[in-house]
Each structure stands twice: as C-alpha cells, then as structure tokens.
C-alpha cells in the first residue's frame, strides 16, 4: 500500500533520500523526541511531539491535526461554528472539527539547542484525501512565488526585526490555577536595559546574557544572523539577518521567533514580538523587510540601475531604480492600504503609525528616508539595491507579509505603474494615510480588488472572518490594555 506522502504526490526519490538522512540523523544524534511543527494563520508554531521511533513512519503517513487549529483567532477561539449547519460553509473539509494531516519536510530536521535530545521538523497540512490545504499560509506564499517565477523573477529578502526582551519575576499569577483564564495572564517582568540610549555599548553589556541566548539559539539552528543591537526603547533589541530567497526568509522568521521565545523562557526571560508592549514609555517595534527581485535564471538584481535614467532627478525612482524596480515600487504604493493588514495584523500594531516616530504614517516612498513607508536603499551600480518596506510589525505572519509584497509589486509590473516623486516630508499633512485600526485595514483589503483576486476570494474571506473576530472582541473590551496584555504580550 502506498504511503500518505505518495498519495499526496510528494514522495519522490529526492524526498526518500532526505527521509533516510533524517532517520539516520535522529539515530546518530540520540534524539528521543521529534516535534512536528506547523505555522498557523497568526505566525505561531503548533504541532505534536512524537517519540523518535515513531518519527520515520510519521514522515510517510503524516500526523493528525484537528482542523479547527486553522480557524482560531488570536485568543484561540474558533471563529467558525463548525458544529452548526452551514457553520463551515465555504470551508469544505473543516466541518465538525475533522482531521487534517501534517506532512513534514524531512530536509528541515534540526536539533533544538535548548531542549535535550529533541528534534524539530517543519510541516504543512493536507486533507485526508491527499489534497493540499490551500488556506495554509506557507502555501499562499508558495503560490505567490510561482506567479513571480512565471514572470521570470525570484525574490530576495533581508530581515530587520525589532522586539522586546524582559526578565521574568517570580510569582505574578501566570501559572496560578486560581487565576487561569482564556486567554490567561502574562508573566510579571522587569527590563533588561533602561532604554533611550540607542546602540549604547553599556546597555548592550547589561543585556548581554539574554542576547547571547538569542545568538547561540539562532546560530545553532543555522539561521543567517548578522547582528544584534540595542534599540531605542526600554528593553527593546533588534536582530538583523543576511538576505536569502523569500521562502527561506519566511521560514527563518517563523523559526527564529518561536525558538528565541522558548530558549529565553527556559533561562528566565520573556521575549515578545508584540509591536507595542503594554507599558508606559515604550517604543514600538517594527519588522523592516528589505526586498529585491532577481532574474530567475542568472540571479542578477533586477532593481539595480547602472546610471540614472536620462533626464531623471534625484527624487525620481528612475534615478536609482531600474524600470522594473520603479514599477514594483509603484505597485507597493498602489496597494499599500490593502496590504497593511497582512503586514500589521494585530489591533495593537496600528498604534505605531504616528508622526516623527521612525515609523510610517502615509503611503509614500523616499530615498534613504526612514520616515517613509518605503525606503529605497542603494545607488547606481550597487548590487545591493533594494526596497525596504517599513510597514510591518514583528508579530506578522511572514508568509502573508511576503506574499502581499509579491502580489502588489507584480501588479505594478504588469500595469507598468509609475511612482510619484520621493518625499522629503513624510509626516506632512495631506498625504494618503495608512489604516489606523484593524477594522479599517480589513476594509481596505476588501476594497482592493487586485489583492483579493491575487490572494483568492476564498482566502480573503477566511482571513477576514478570523481577524474580524479579533477586531470585534477588541472593540467590545472594556479594558483594552488588559486585552492586549493577555492576547498579545503573553502569547506573541
């Protein structure tokens, strides 16, 4: 009888070889447990842990997963009434909390540096009949990349990720059964540095212990960490990664967030990728996404221009970017409001869009301008020429964040859109503003016909239904700070 992986059309000679190597590694490294992990709609890893002797068979036949895990909002409540007649309408295969199967990529096996004798595998969900689950966010990015490849391009991405690390204080009630709730209390914390001294070596030295854990965790997992920095806000830090292809970059972001939170927790620290932690006098965290298109065959940077376009001025895109780069830039601007909810998907994150805060507020681009939404980096002849999108929050689902860039940029390329002149006043009144709430961002997505078509109406409906559940509960919350403290600070 054929395996489930074969029925899904996945198990070819290359996968068989990777599977054999994975089994050999499990045995050689003395692994006792293997985590089969999957990234949910909110960018959180979930899955099951198998004993090592069961891992080889699970690589062939999958691991069962309740389908409602794909229907949860950020509080872990199921947003669709799957047990009511018509409650899962438009979601065939999800009725009655039925089962999905996780299939792992055997080549993704890693040994977790913080957990004794434990391996980790990246998975994606499939229906029991062998059909892919198209609502899976990693598959959403894979489809976008296929569309990009058909146009002759690949995508290269570099990550700059700001986040906060706190020291966990004893007590606080998080694990007190008398105070259990849904969602529960976050830990009580203190800071690892006092902030407001950007890149201060003394503050880095104060925070070195948790940052060493971040360093060792990332490097042990093979992630392309480039630097660790002290950011401006109290207890805020930044991790910068070398550029990779887009799918690898998204996979790395998922693994990095999950890994450092777990490794730091074991050492008595709490890492949060929530944009604005629930304390006074904090600074918002952003996720700055550097991106360029490359020629699918040669790998050459398709944004690079060797000399300014004839007659162009420094504030015109053609002074720095190729024609393809200018069209792509224009597409990102055209769909900025529609894509915002994929880049900043929490009710908390929209508080970052404010004047003079090194964060965007309006739909603008600039040349090396950190107040603009899009920052063009590089000069003529620079092989590293790229566009930095500064709209993202570090809690965003990486697959959806990157897919939104591709679909928006491709629309600009296909329609040969032209961007306006670069801004030199990103916070001036009168500019088209980014959404200022989750509700507004969801409506902007619904109003963007090109993005709805590119992502697929079924996916947009599914995504919007779940995010609207979060937005509605936030609107109804009497204590909005407590909502964010429980829903985001303790869980993201």
Question: Does the 4-133 domain belong in CATH 3.10.20.70?
Answer: yes
Q: Is residue 89 predicted with pLDDT exceeding 90?
A: no
- What confidence tier does 357 reach under pLDDT thresholds 50, 70, 90? confident
Estimate to the nearest angstrom the gap between the alpha carbon of 437 and the chain centroid. Answer: 19
pLDDT in tens, 270-317: 999 999 999 999 999 999 999 999 999 999 999 999 999 999 999 999
User: Residue 35 pLDDT more than 90?
Assistant: yes
| CA neighbor of 482 nearest in space, from 291, 347, 380 | 347
* pLDDT at residue number 167: 97
Q: What are 483's two structure tokens? A: 């909502």
| Nearest alpha carbon to residue 283 among 388, 394, 367, 362 | 394
- For residue 399, give both structure tokens: 């697959």
pLDDT of residue 78: 95
Q: How confident is the model at residue 1 (pLDDT cuts 50, 70, 90)?
A: low
Domain regions of the chain by residue span: 4-133, 144-489
Q: How far apart are CA 211 and CA 221, in angstroms?
A: 15
Tokens of 226: 């480039």
C-alpha distances in angstroms, 263 versus 25, 34, 36, 114, 165? 22, 17, 18, 6, 12
Structure tokens at 74: 């950020």
Question: Which residue carries 């947009």 as its tokens?
Answer: 460
Tens-place pLDDT, residues 451-473 = 999 999 999 999 999 999 999 99
Compute the chain's Rg from CA coordinates.
Answer: 22
Average of per-residue pLDDT values in the chain:
96
Q: Provide the terminal-to-terminal Cα distance of the chain, rounded to the nearest Å.
A: 42
CA 339/CA 389 separation, integer angstroms:
11
Show the tokens assigned to 166: 């706190």
What is the residue-wise DSSP string for 144-180? HHHHHHHTTEEEEEEEEEEEEEEEEPS-SSTT-GGG-
Q: Are 419 and 326 in contact (CB under 8 A)?
A: yes
Distance in angstroms (rounded) separating the CA atoms of residues 345 and 458: 18
CB atoms within 10 A of CB 473: 16
Top-tier CATH class for 144-489: alpha beta
79: three-class secondary structure by DSSP: coil
Tokens 């891992």 belong to residue: 55
User: pLDDT tens digit string along 324-348?
Assistant: 999 999 999 999 999 999 999 999 9
pLDDT at 438: 98
pLDDT at 446 over 90: yes
Where on the phi/psi map is residue 79: left (φ > 0), alpha (ψ -120 to 50), or beta? Answer: alpha
- Report pLDDT digits (tens) over 36-75: 999 999 999 999 999 999 999 999 999 999 999 999 999 9
Strands 45-51 and 63-66: unpaired
| Residue whose C-alpha is closest to residue 90's, from 41, 38, 135, 153 | 135
């Amino acid at each position: 009888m054929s395996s489930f992986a074969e029925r899904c059309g996945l198990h070819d000679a290359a996968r068989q070889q990777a599977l054999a190597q994975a089994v050999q590694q499990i045995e050689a490294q003395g692994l006792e447990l293997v985590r089969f992990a999957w990234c949910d709609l909110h960018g959180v890893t979930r899955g099951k842990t198998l004993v090592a002797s069961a891992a080889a068979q699970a690589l062939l036949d999958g691991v069962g997963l309740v389908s409602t895990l794909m229907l949860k909002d950020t509080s872990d409540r199921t947003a669709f009434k799957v047990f009511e007649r018509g409650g899962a309408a438009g979601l065939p295969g999800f009725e009655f909390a039925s089962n999905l199967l996780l299939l792992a990529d055997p080549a993704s096996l890693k040994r977790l540096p913080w957990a004794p004798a434990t391996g980790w595998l990246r998975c994606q969900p499939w229906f029991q009949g062998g059909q892919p689950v198209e609502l899976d966010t990693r598959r959403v990015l894979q489809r976008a990349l296929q569309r990009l490849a058909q146009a002759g391009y690949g995508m290269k991405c570099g990550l700059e990720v700001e986040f906060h690390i706190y020291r966990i204080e004893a007590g606080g009630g998080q694990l007190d059964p008398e105070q259990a709730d849904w969602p529960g209390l976050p830990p009580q914390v203190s800071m690892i540095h006092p902030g407001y001294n950007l890149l201060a070596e003394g503050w880095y030295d104060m925070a070195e212990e948790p940052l060493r854990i971040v360093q060792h965790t990332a490097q042990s997992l093979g992630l392309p960490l480039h630097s660790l920095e002290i950011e401006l806000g109290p207890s805020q830090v930044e991790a910068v990664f070398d550029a990779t292809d887009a799918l690898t970059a998204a996979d790395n972001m998922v693994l990095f967030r999950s890994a450092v939170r777990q490794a730091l927790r074991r050492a008595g620290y709490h890492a949060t990728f929530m944009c604005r932690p629930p304390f006074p006098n904090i600074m918002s965290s952003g996720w700055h996404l550097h991106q360029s298109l490359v020629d699918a065959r040669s790998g050459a940077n398709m944004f690079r221009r060797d000399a300014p376009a004839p007659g162009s001025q420094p504030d015109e895109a053609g002074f720095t970017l190729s024609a393809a780069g200018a069209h792509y830039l224009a597409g990102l601007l055209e769909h900025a409001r529609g894509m915002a909810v994929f880049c900043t998907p929490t009710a908390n994150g929209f508080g970052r869009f404010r004047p003079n805060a090194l964060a965007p507020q309006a739909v603008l681009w600039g040349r090396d301008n950190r107040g603009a939404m899009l920052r063009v980096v590089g000069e003529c002849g620079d092989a590293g020429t790229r566009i930095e999108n500064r709209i993202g929050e570090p809690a965003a689902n990486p697959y959806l964040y990157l897919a939104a860039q591709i679909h928006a940029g491709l629309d600009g390329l296909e329609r040969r859109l032209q961007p306006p002149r670069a801004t030199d006043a990103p916070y001036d009144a009168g500019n088209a503003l980014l959404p200022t709430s989750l509700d507004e961002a969801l409506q902007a997505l619904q109003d963007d016909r090109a993005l709805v078509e590119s992502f697929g109406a079924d996916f947009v409906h599914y995504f919007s239904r779940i995010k609207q559940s979060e937005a509605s509960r936030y609107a109804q919350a009497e204590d909005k700070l407590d909502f964010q403290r429980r829903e985001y600070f303790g869980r993201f």
